[in-house]
Structure 1
Amino acid sequence: MATLAHIVRHPVKSIGYEPLDRVALTPGAALPWDRHWAVAHANAKFEGTPAEWQRKLNFLRGVTQPALMAIRAELDEATGRLTLSHPDAGTVTLEPEAEAQRLMDWLAPLWGADLPAPRNVVHIPGQAMTDWPDPFIAVLGTASLDALSAAAGAPLSPHRFRGNLWIEGWAPFEEFELVGRTLRIGAAELEVRERITRCKATHANPDTGRRDVDTLQVLRDNFGHEDFGVYAVVTREGEVAAGDQVQVT
């Protein structure tokens, strides 16, 4: 029997991950508060806050600066205040939009002076700042992570892959076979749409913020691709919680 093992959101794109016990899913929407904000850099191809989704290259990302991968997050949904912590930068608590300059000042040393400086915080109501404009939720299998860890010769943290829902009980990479099918988790349903092709952001250890495993090479050499996890969209609203049974239809 497959079960929902972990739920994770990332309130700011590429800047902090936060485990959750439960969450309510809504059709046509990403995981609540996931990639709710993003931080644009000085070379972004837009001015100020755009009116619509923008490509990921406009924002601070772990693929460019692996130190960002070690940030952890804790969001107070009632107040909108976000606490970020990093092993080198310490901890800061703020409101990302109202205190945008504090956020950018805290990020600047991690991002590095040789990169285009953090410029402004972006939030578009109703649009998660995910890598694609679609309201995707990333679904991953714990057995796939175990298989990849064995091939790499070291245990790999799930937070390298910045997924949302981790499923326990599937065979390694079984999720690839579920494209086009429906997952029933708790009261919610999701349709699996496509595989996720990965980038070298996954090379970084989220405990240290340093690249230590070439996950893409391990995937190519052992599994013949660079994919890990699948994208799904919510088709029926409902709450999901860690421990819920996962049924495939």
Structure 2
Amino acid sequence: MISVEHIYRYPIKGFPGENLQKTNLQKNQGIQGDRTIGLSTGAIAVQDNGAWTPCQAFQRMTIRPDLTTFNITNTGDGLRLTSANNETEIINLKTSDTGSLINILGNPVVLHRAGGNRGYWDHQDAAVSIINLSTLDVISEMIGRSIDPLRFRANIYVRAEPWSEFSWLGRELAIGGARLDIIRPIDRCKTTSVNVDTGVLDINMPALLNRHFGHMYCGVYASVNTGASIAVGETIKLSDDFTDKKIRNATTQKTAPSLHDWPRPVVVTKIKEEAEGIRSLWIDDSLCSIGSLAKFKPGQYIRVHGLSGAYTWRSYTVSAISNGQLRITVKRQDGVGSQSIHQFSERQKLVITGPFGDATLANDSKALHFISAGIGITPTVAKLQALAAQRCSKPIKVIHVARSKGELALWNDVIDAAKKLPNAVLNLHLTNSQALSVGVLMGRPDPQVIAVDAKRAAADVHICGPTAFVSGLLDALKSSAVQDSQIFVDTFSSANSETQLRSIAKSAPIKVTLARSKISEYWSPDDGTLLDFAESRGAVLSSHCRAGICKTCSCKILQGSATRLLGEEGEDHMTTLLCCSVPKVAITLDV
């Protein structure tokens, strides 16, 4: 049973909310009075006549974490705003006079009202946000600390099976007489990292979500198709029917994340045992009809979530796509992920994200060499099938290593693709001498011979296999002076997101120039990251998670270099993530 546990309305965008026992949902509008007031900072222009305006225009917690410590009281004709220091100012909603707010906010603001009984929501279509408290319980358990639900600033808090909310996409929720369409999962940002009691950033929630669950989503957005009163304690009924119309519209929102990134429900339609301990799963993606796989490139992978009671997630290369379904091929190993995959049966329901990955085919390659071992054959198959569909005439060489024919998966797929490739050469190596037969090479190939051959052919080299196998090949390619730009590696491993930025080292002031923003000033360590520096100087930049995950703030470096504060230590010279880097030397950025 799904039930309504709490209802919240947020009168002023970016500030704390009011706890309600009941409220009215309005068709195409949401909760009356929710985020209808915005206090602009002058960073960007607010649209006329109360039209929806992006959050960058207003006071918000990503820039002002301390906003969560304010208290808001409705006085009838105004809002009483009280700071953590008990300083109080009244916002007169009749006159819109905000001159005195500078006393407690520290900067001048202008009051704006959203028009048409709509709100300054995070996205123009995101009228209502819903959080599952059972999901938050799981998150709290995984990260080892209690999480206040108010970090997530939802309108409706419900109680349901953990993470089941992603299966609601495209379905209708009934709360009493109200009807809501679930249109999109919610990608979480820096706001969820703010302690609601202290106004301090005390965790990195987007990074923690990505580390433990493989994505940075929590909760769902809904639009209201039938308005009515709702109240705490009411039971929620979920329709069985799925319709993609509302979701299709939701994908067109410019501020929304890309469709392929959404956690979404899928069903296993077919299972095939490919070899000893290796099986393929054919998966029907519920959002394929509206483009979730439209940008797939051979060599990319998906993430499968919730693989065990511990909510394990793993990445698996897509070994084929056919008729709107995708295939993953998985070897049974000791890990929780592969063990779960090998216990599934047909009609198993899962949640996936993706496809992701950059180890794909380049358009300008002169020749292609595919080197794989074991289950690393999966990206090779997908890439060969794509090349076969193009009737590619480039020189192609495939070298694959397996222990025995009994453990050889998908090799027939390789042979079938090669029949359509006029210049393809296949080399199969089996390391178990007892399994030798005509056309099969004995033992492992020599990495140095592979590297010299690739250098001579000026080939792009695509590698996938166990870590030691890949490492040996990379060393050989480097010693043969094969360019990094010609090496594409898929190690089929799952990422482990770091959750803390490294400390910013002491430094003398460094000049930072934001070329397109026409800003050139000196940065000091107290300014924080390059993103913090830019925003404090009035630049309006694209950003979201502020945790080095979503890559929204990726920026080209025109001159100079930046020091990374997250991930592998070192410097960026070409591009940098503004949210987790600082200047190393005088730097000019293309923003």
1:195 match: 185
How far residue 88 of structure 1 moved from its aligned partner, in angstroms, is 2.7
Alpha-carbon distance, 1:19 to partner: 0.6
Once the two structures are superposed, what CA deviation does each residue of 1:10-67 show, in whole Å capped at 9, x if it has no partner?
10000221110000111110211110100110322348x5552111111110011100
Separation in 2 of the partners of 1:131 and 1:103?
27
Cα deviation for residue 217 of structure 1 reads 1.4
Separation in 2, partners of 1:135, 1:194:
9
User: How far 1:83 moved relative to its partner?
Assistant: 2.5
The C-alpha deviation readout for 1:100-151, integer Å capped at 9, x for no partner, is: 3256324423xxxxxxx43301113213111111252001100111111122
Q: 2:138 aligns with which of 135, 147, 150?
A: 147
Residues of 2 paired with 1:149 and 1:90: CA distance? Answer: 33
Residue identity matched to 1:58 = A
Distance 1:137-1:65 versus aligned 2 partners, 3 A rule:
same
2:95 counterpart of 1:60: no
- Aligned amino acid, residue 178 of structure 2: A
Residue of structure 2 in register with 1:227 after alignment: 217
Q: Which runs of 5+ in 2 are unaligned?
A: 240-591
CA contact (8 A) 1:70 1:208 kept: yes
Q: Which residue of 1 aligns with 2:23?
A: 23
Alpha-carbon spacing, 1:92–1:149, altered in 2? closer, same or farther (3 Å): farther
AA at the equivalent of 1:94:
I
CA distance in 2, matches of 1:190, 1:227: 20
Structure 2 match to 1:14? 14
Q: Provide, for residues 127-180 of structure 1, a one-character-per-residue CA deviation record: whole Å limited to 9, x for no partner.
A: 311111125200110011111112222211111111100001x11111111011
CA contact (8 A) 2:188 2:216 kept: yes
Is 1:120 matched with 2:119?
no
| Residues in 1 aligned to 2:65 and 2:156: alpha-carbon distance in whole angstroms | 23
Alignment TM-score, normalising by the size of structure 1: 0.88
Structure 1: 5+ residue stretches without partners: 110-116
Candidates 91, 104, 108, aligned match of 1:94: 91
Quote the Cα distance in structure 1 between the aligned partners of 2:154 and 2:22. 15
1:93 CA drift (Å): 3.7
1:176-216 Cα offsets, whole Å, 9 max, x none, are 11011111112211110000101101111111111111111
Give 2:71's aligned residue. Answer: 72
**In structure 2, the residue corresponding to 1:63 is in which secondary structure?**
coil
Q: 2:49 touches 2:115 (CA, 8 Å); kept in 1?
A: no
For 1:86 and 1:198, how far apart are their aligned partners in 2?
26
Using the TM superposition, give the Cα deviation of residue 238 of structure 1 relative to its aligned residue in structure 2, in angstroms: 1.0
Q: Which residue of 2 aligns with 1:210?
A: 200
Count of residues in Structure 1 that have an aligned counterpart in Structure 2:
238
| Distance in structure 2 (CA, Å) of the matches to 1:68 and 1:5 | 25
Name segments (4+ residues, structure 1) moved above 6 Å.
none
Deviating more after overlay: 144-153 vs 89-98: 89-98
**Structure 2 contact 172–181 (Cα < 8 Å) conserved:** yes
- Of structures 1 and 2, the larger Rg is shown by 2
Which amino acid in structure 2 is aligned with residue 71 of structure 1? F
Query: Would the aligned equivalents of 1:9 and 1:19 in 2 still touch at CA under 8 Å?
Result: yes
- Give the aligned residue type for 1:144: T
Local SS of the residue matching 2:73 = strand
* Cα separation, 1, equivalents of 2:25 and 2:46: 31
Bigger mean CA deviation after superposition, 224-233 or 148-157: 148-157
Distance 2:49 2:86 in 1: 29
For 2:307, the equivalent position in structure 1 comes to: none
Give the secondary-structure state (helix, strand or coil) at the position aligned to 2:198. Answer: coil
Which of structures 1 and 2 has the larger relative contact order (alpha carbons within 8 angstroms, sep 6+)?
1
Asked if the contact 1:84–1:91 (Cα under 8 Å) also holds between the matched residues in 2, the reply is yes
- The code of the aligned residue for 1:142 comes to L
Q: Distance in 1 between matches of 2:86 and 2:169?
A: 40
Once residues 25 and 103 of structure 2 are traced to their aligned partners in structure 1, the CA distance between those partners, rounded to angstroms, is 32
Q: Distance in 1 between matches of 2:46 and 2:176?
A: 40
Corresponding residue of 1:161: 152
Q: Which residue is equivalent to 1:185?
A: 175
Match of 1:85?
Answer: 82
The answer to which of 12-21 and 38-47 deviates more is: 38-47
TM-score normalised per structure 2: 0.39
Relative distance call for 1:187 and 1:144 in structure 2 (3 A) is: same
Per the alignment, do residues 230 and 43 of structure 1 end up closer, same or farther by CA in structure 2, a change over 3 Å counting? same
Q: CA RMSD in A?
A: 1.9
Whole-Å Cα distance in 2 between the matches of residues 209 and 56 of structure 1?
19
Distance of 1:106 and 1:9 partners within structure 2: 25
- Is the Cα–Cα contact under 8 Å of residues 17 and 71 in structure 1 kept in the other structure? no
Could you tell me which residue of structure 1 aligns to residue 357 of structure 2?
Answer: none
Change (3 A) 1:9 1:245: same
- Native 8 Å contact 1:97 1:121 kept in 2: no
